[in-house]
Structure 1
Amino acid sequence: MPRFTKCSTFAAHFIDVKLDIEMNITKEQINELNAVVKVAVTKDDYQDKVETILKDYRKKADIPGFRKGQVPMGLIKKQYGKAVLVEEVNKLIQDNLNKYLTEEKLDVLGNPLPKQRDNFNWDAEDFEFEFELGLAPSFEVDLKSKKAITQYKIVADDKMINEQVERIQKQYGTLTNKTEVTKKDEVVGVFKNEEEEIENKATLEISTLKSKKATDALVGAKVGDVITISTKGLFGEDQELAAALGIQADKAEKLAVDVSFTIEEINEREPAKLDQELFDKLFGKDVVTSEDGLKTKIKEDSEQQFTQQADQKLLNDITENFIDTTKFELPADFLKKWIQVTGEKVLTDDEATTEYEKSEKGLRYQLIEGKIITENNLQVQFDELKEFSKGFIKTQMAQFGQLNPAEEELDNIAARVLSNQDEVKRLSEQLMSQKLLTLYKEKANLKTKEVTYENFVKEVYG
């Protein structure tokens, strides 16, 4: 899908071009959103450059029947003259048009489109070319909407914290081998169904099964027993069934068959003690020193993660609000033409219209966002970007247990990351989104709503 830019990519790329030749360029304003630029090229504009290139060709030409450097100029012009003329005229047009767009401060969308002319005569001495321009619209952005936008504050309630404590105790607990299944046990076994091509080793926690019939069949069973279980209603979520059977989620969604489960191992998991050894293993030495401290740490870490989700929701909602409430017209016909000819292949009219309709919403927000950034002087400085990247690096290193990396190490890794232009672009966009979010929190019409994570998911995702 094409990405539009408010400032012409032509103009943005050639801002610093210095030209000795001043060509005749005029603009005809069709309406507020469309214009035609005419570029007149005379023989004086290109002749010296073309002659110089052809002379250089003559010096290097190696043509049978002539000594090197002695090929008649007439033959050189016959073989190469037209191609050199076309290339040099196109260079002149591009350079001068870019300069014109920059000096006239024209905000164009996409790039200038050359108007097609039948029977164009390259044998003439003077030429005139016409380019269609799609102009960016004028509009105002009101950061403070009439209707307040909800800013969620997600809190970790006691239920969530206690469940997380239980998960930690279970994860770091010890296993005791048993001979007979009870409702507290974990059972390792192999699921099979030849017709459905299912054969997968999995671990079942008996207490998490949703099927009473399956639970009753497993309780009391021993190692080596083969239990027949129905997949229907076995778990609460399709992805749990998919993981247990080793199948795709879409297949698990509709699967209702009997499978055999051959028991290989029965274990009871004894929860880990909430002691200093566990706290140090989880968070580092003496960071947490009590069960209350553990719950406080879980609450802080959870709510920090929730903040990222709430911020993304707020950014999405504000974006949608801007698109809905900021009204302006676009040069739609021009943009469809531009889409039609700028991709890997030329599109049909219908294909270009479809692509435009898919792109229009994104284009509108690009224009709105660009105006907000300009009017509020939001910029990404290199030092800021470097610190921002170091923050990401520290987070990633912490996931692998490196909690206190040396500053020199961070600087070296950041330098390598920022040498990659794709990474620079990605990080710059993320940092700018952060700056925009900070601006919106200061100036937008927001109302804060405190919710648990469970209720946030229900409200946002249904």
Structure 2
Amino acid sequence: MEIALEKSTETNASLKIKLSKSDYQPEVDKKLKDYGRRASIKGFRPGKVPTSLIQKMYGKSVLVEEINELLKNTVSNYIRDNKLQVVGDPLPDREQADAIDWDGQNEFEFNYHLGLASDFEVDFDALPPVPSYVIEAGETELNSTIEELKTRFSGQTHVDESAEGDMIYGELKQEGKEDGEAFATKTAFPSKQIAAEELPKFVGLKKGDTVTFDIQKTFVDEKARALATGLKREEAAELEGEFTFTVEDITRNEPAEIGQEFFDKVLGKDVVETEEQFREKVLEVIKGNYARESATLERLDIEQALLDNITIGLPDDFLKQWLLTSNEGNVTETEVNEQYDAFARSVKLQLIKNKIASENEINVAYEDVLNVTRGMVREQFGFYGDDEQMNQSIDKIAQQYLMDEKGENYMKMYNRISDDKVIELIKSKLTLEPRTVSVEEFKELVSTRQPA
């Protein structure tokens, strides 16, 4: 076998592979012999099928299969052994491959186009300071959050007269059609779905009142019409003309009252006992949420600092062609061009992180993955405490999750943990500048950032 790398530019190369008969024939003969032992062909005893017949029946397919496997391993091993910074996947020269005479050739030549990232170094000293935001959360945010919670945990009460926001129950009937054709049903009208210009008709109604309306003007979109009638969207879309609605009941969501029942619904049973304790706990949760949001923005700023200060050349034309080829039929050339900048950004960022992980020997062990997954299970299922039976249940759920989706869940968790470790190392190497900002200022900052 002969293998050679030819670089046309810093980021484009060709990997040329020449195979002689000695490279593939021993394995081909071995597989054909195995076929001969297992073949069941009418007129021949098992294991006694002539070699010439096995060759005629399976020779070409075995040859193609073996050479493809040999090429795949050869390319992969060459890239690994020579530590090539390949981006995308090697693209075989299709014209050359299609011209092969599998019946007459003994020697074969193959050519793979490679896209390479340019060499680069990560110099932490050259990175500028990155802001670390502390978000001010005080009485305004606390009061706003409590009002939202009161609405979220609201209760329903029956009222005598409808108002905006109420749910109105009753009988809906279609007008102007014979009884056998007219649509009629018992339903509930969420007044939030009613068009603004028609809403006054449904305000001030009492039990027994009947209102007449045009269904398409009152429920403008098909989704709202489907909710109001209980029909499928395509069926509701066909309804038109005048309808009547006779009110049978009206319910209203009343904000939850401050008290132990509300405290228990929001925070869990008996976590707090007084309003003061409740406010302290909610403020603690708010600050924790903002801290996580701040950490997310800090990560985006760190990633942007890496991209702005580390220059990496990519084989743009090659990558665009690779995206088209690997997603054949699913994306157009226009779509690739439109999305390429974001794709290239993510490729560069991953190259930088991979290099940092390699140079700093950042590794992720199975126990790391399992521990993080245990924490995720605790949070999602609300497991509290630390008794042995609970820990066994958590372990079982976590291990099952990691085995699901053919190992994809495990790789997702692995990559997430690896990424977190890289970011933590970067944070230890560069300067973080604390900045205190208001909630509104923070929201404005977030709106200007582009995630990787």
What is the TM-score of this pair, normalised by structure 2? Answer: 0.72
Equivalent residue, structure 2, for 1:93: 71
Equivalent residue, structure 2, for 1:125: 106
Matched residues in 2 for 1:194 and 1:141: separation?
71
AA aligned opposite 1:152 = Y
Q: Percent identity?
A: 32
Matched residues in 1 for 2:101 and 2:156: separation?
87
Equivalent residue, structure 1, for 2:391: 407
Is 1:396 aligned to 2:383, yes or no?
Answer: no
Equivalent residue, structure 2, for 1:160: 141
Matched residues in 2 for 1:175 and 1:43: separation?
82
From 129, 134, 150, the equivalent of 2:115 is: 134
Equivalent residue, structure 2, for 1:375: 359
How far off its partner does 1:294 sit?
0.8
Matched residues in 2 for 1:334 and 1:297: separation?
55
From 322, 326, 336, the equivalent of 1:338 is: 322
From 24, 40, 48, the equivalent of 2:18 is: 40
Equivalent residue, structure 2, for 1:329: 313
User: Could you give the per-residue CA deviations for residues 391-448 of structure 1, whole angstroms, max 9, x where no partner exists?
Assistant: 11111122xxx54372222122212112221221222233334334434443444443
Residue pair 2:173, 2:245 contacting (<8 A) in 1 also: no
Equivalent residue, structure 1, for 2:443: 457
Equivalent residue, structure 1, for 2:217: none
Task: Say which SS state the counterpart of residue 363 (structure 1) adopts.
Answer: helix
Q: Sort the Cα spacing of 1:70 and 1:367 in 2 relative to 1 into closer, same or farther, 3 A.
A: same
User: Could you give the per-residue CA deviations for residues 13-47 of structure 1, whole angstroms, max 9, x where no partner exists?
Assistant: xxxxxxxxxx3323233332223233232222233
Residue pair 2:159, 2:252 contacting (<8 A) in 1 also: yes
Is 1:438 aligned to 2:424, yes or no?
Answer: yes
- Structure 1 vs Structure 2 CA RMSD: 4.7
Task: Say which SS state the counterpart of residue 31 (structure 1) adopts.
Answer: coil
From 417, 437, 448, the equivalent of 2:434 is: 448
Matched residues in 2 for 1:242 and 1:144: separation?
61
Which moves more between the two structures, 56-65 or 97-106?
56-65
Matched residues in 1 for 2:163 and 2:335: separation?
62
How far off its partner does 1:301 sit?
1.0
How far off its partner does 1:383 sit?
1.5
What is the TM-score of this pair, normalised by structure 1? Answer: 0.71
Matched residues in 1 for 2:142 and 2:436: separation?
17
Matched residues in 2 for 1:449 and 1:213: separation?
49
1:93-242 aligned within 5 A: 93-115=71-93, 116-117=95-96, 119-122=99-102, 123-143=104-124, 148-168=129-149, 177-179=158-160, 188=168, 201-202=188-189, 218=203, 222-225=206-209
User: Could you give the per-residue CA deviations for residues 337-368 of structure 1, whole angstroms, max 9, x where no partner exists?
Assistant: 43343335598877765665563222222222
How far off its partner does 1:173 sit?
6.9
Residue pair 1:397, 1:403 contacting (<8 A) in 2 also: no
Q: Sort the Cα spacing of 1:282 and 1:352 in 2 relative to 1 into closer, same or farther, 3 A.
A: closer
Equivalent residue, structure 2, for 1:311: 295
Matched residues in 2 for 1:458 and 1:244: separation?
36
Equivalent residue, structure 1, for 2:402: 418
From 325, 343, 362, the equivalent of 1:359 is: 343
AA aligned opposite 1:128 = E
Q: Sort the Cα spacing of 1:190 and 1:91 in 2 relative to 1 into closer, same or farther, 3 A.
A: same
From 42, 52, 73, the equivalent of 1:74 is: 52
Matched residues in 2 for 1:176 and 1:27: separation?
77
How far off its partner does 1:177 sit?
4.9
Task: Say which SS state the counterpart of residue 329 (structure 1) adopts.
Answer: coil
Q: Sort the Cα spacing of 1:347 and 1:272 in 2 relative to 1 into closer, same or farther, 3 A.
A: closer
